[in-house]
Structure 1
Amino acid sequence: MGIYFYKNLKALKTHFKTIVVSDIHLGTKGSKAKEIARFLKLYSCENLILNGDIIDGWQLKKSGSWKRKHTRFFNRILKMIEQDNTKVYYLRGNHDDFLDQILPLTIGNLSIQQDMIYESCGKKYFITHGDVFDSVTSHFRWIAYVGDIGYTFLLWLNRQVNYYRRKKGLPYYSLSQYVKGKVKKAVSYIDNFEEELAKFAQSKGCDGIICGHIHKAENREIDGIEYLNSGDWVETMSALAEDYDGNWQLIYYNEIDFKRKSSEEQGDDTPSKLIPREAYKIVAFKPFSQDSDFNKLL
């Protein structure tokens, strides 16, 4: 009976077909490693896509440091592979560009690659971190490093501001998002970034584009193309999730009712809520060739 209850309890976890997360920036003070590990304990999936900037190699070379909580994130990933047979795809971002030395690499259910095309429910999505569509990070790397220093300072200042806000019982406030929203050039840059990605997806015959990089979660349509951005795990703490009907949604960590989720898992062990594995649809993945028209477009 105990084993039977454990199996039911495990199956009652919210299960998605695919989850996409990006911009965790492990190795930095601002990384919400504990939160995303907790998130992935609550939500299981058949496919997990780590869409770039998971490890912040830039900061680790400078003032960053690797903590135990950062290692725990990868322990959670390994458990998902072992216990749930989750297929994990780690796509390279600009902050973890050290992966260039080993990709493409596949070990069991773990695949490390540049980008990919994802096919599901009759639709095709191009998945990329997005930095290759950013002229600053692609062609003016020194400016990108300067910008990274400025963003790091904003995050430090943001922690000080929110420390005092918490003491006064006030909600979290994103200083960097406020600055981005007020600077017209930043708003224009984001709009251009999103439009360029949508155009590229259309040129490849894809129905949608999934990216990260700019730390701005989004789920909208641009000229008939689904534009999906998973946000980040520094401030927004958001992820993209796809159900078995091909519907995508944004999940925000701060909006999750963990108490209710816990009571749901503990309060019902009936088999009626179980979803048989045979009913799951098969997802087709294939890596995107770097020798194709992609490089010509850039």
Structure 2
Amino acid sequence: MLKVQADPVTKSYRTIFLSDIHLGTPDCQADLLIEFLRQHDAETIYLVGDIVDCWRMKRRGFYWPQSHNDVVQKLLRKARKGTRIIYVPGNHDELLRDYQGVHFGGIEVRERDLFETADGKRLLVIHGDEFDMVVMNHRWLAHLGDIAYGMAMWANKWHNRARKLLGLEYWSISRWAKLKVKGAVNFISDFEQVLADEARKHGADGVICGHIHHAANEMRGGVRYINTGDWVESCTAIVEHPDGRIELIDWSRRIPAKAAFQAQSKEHHHDADIHNEAA
């Protein structure tokens, strides 16, 4: 089991928000998520979409290592101990949208939710793919983009293996591109604005979403825009403190670089398949 340098005392929050875990793919940082869940508890946990990547499993075949099963078991164990878990499906696990209102082992499925913080703020909880025009109107292009993303992650793994040999820290090609490439920056900005506008339409003070794998906690035109990020590259989560304060936790920055490399390497033992598929 992966070991990280962290405070051994479990931290308790009112609410934890996680999204874009992508279980069922070799890109999922399952070991790091297990460690996060071991050290963090909450009264309520929101799973804000793309928890299981049905797209990738349908296209590439079933992939489910023990670490992915451990994530599910850890969540179910928390549910049995009294944690309320609400699952808001995304586009990669959209088949669960047909089961809204159904409980699976203590996990409740909802299409979206209106969450109220301890200090009375109302936040719309939604994955966000409904406002991605590529996903909504050009699904073939969305699937093509998913394949390209898989290729980028494959390249990213080998790039970082070389960096490790040189004693350099982990570096994400995808994260860099999102911040530097003009088209990506504009897409993120437009997405954030549309989601903030949707929250405003519902009379909410803010929105909590996922989908674009870009964590954020900021104000947009008087509305708070919060994105949980992902557990493929950034390993981020949103937590609500007992007083209602919202915090973005970047778990990848709280662990040794060596641990991040080990986790990624472990989850990519059949990367040749990804390369063949992309080709």
The size of the alignment, in residue pairs, is: 247
Equivalence map 1:1-298=2 (5 Å): 12-63=9-60, 65-83=63-81, 85-107=82-104, 109-120=106-117, 121-256=119-254
Aligned to 2:273: none
Kindly provide the CA deviation profile for residues 235-269 of structure 1, in whole angstroms up to 9, marking residues without a partner as x: 000000000111001111123369xxxxxxxxxxx
Deviation of 1:139 (Å): 1.3
Shift of the 101–193 alpha-carbon distance from structure 1 to 2, 3 Å rule, reads same
Kindly provide the CA deviation profile for residues 97-151 of structure 1, in whole angstroms up to 9, marking residues without a partner as x: 1213322313574201211110122110000000001011111101100111111
In 2, the alpha carbon distance for the partners of 1:43 and 1:162 equals 28
CA contact (8 A) 2:163 2:169 kept: yes
Whose radius of gyration is greater, 1 or 2? Answer: 1
Shift of the 179–108 alpha-carbon distance from structure 1 to 2, 3 Å rule, reads closer
Segments of 5+ residues of structure 2 without an aligned counterpart are 1-7, 257-279
Which 4+ stretches in 1 moved above 3 angstroms? Answer: none
Segments of 5+ residues of structure 1 without an aligned counterpart are 1-10, 259-298
Aligned CA-pair RMSD = 1.6
Q: In structure 1, give the amino acid aligned to 2:153.
A: L
In 2, the alpha carbon distance for the partners of 1:100 and 1:203 equals 22
SS at match of 1:195: helix
TM-score for the superposition, normalised by structure 2: 0.85
Fraction of identical pairs, as percent: 38
In 2, the alpha carbon distance for the partners of 1:225 and 1:25 equals 28
Aligned to 1:289: none
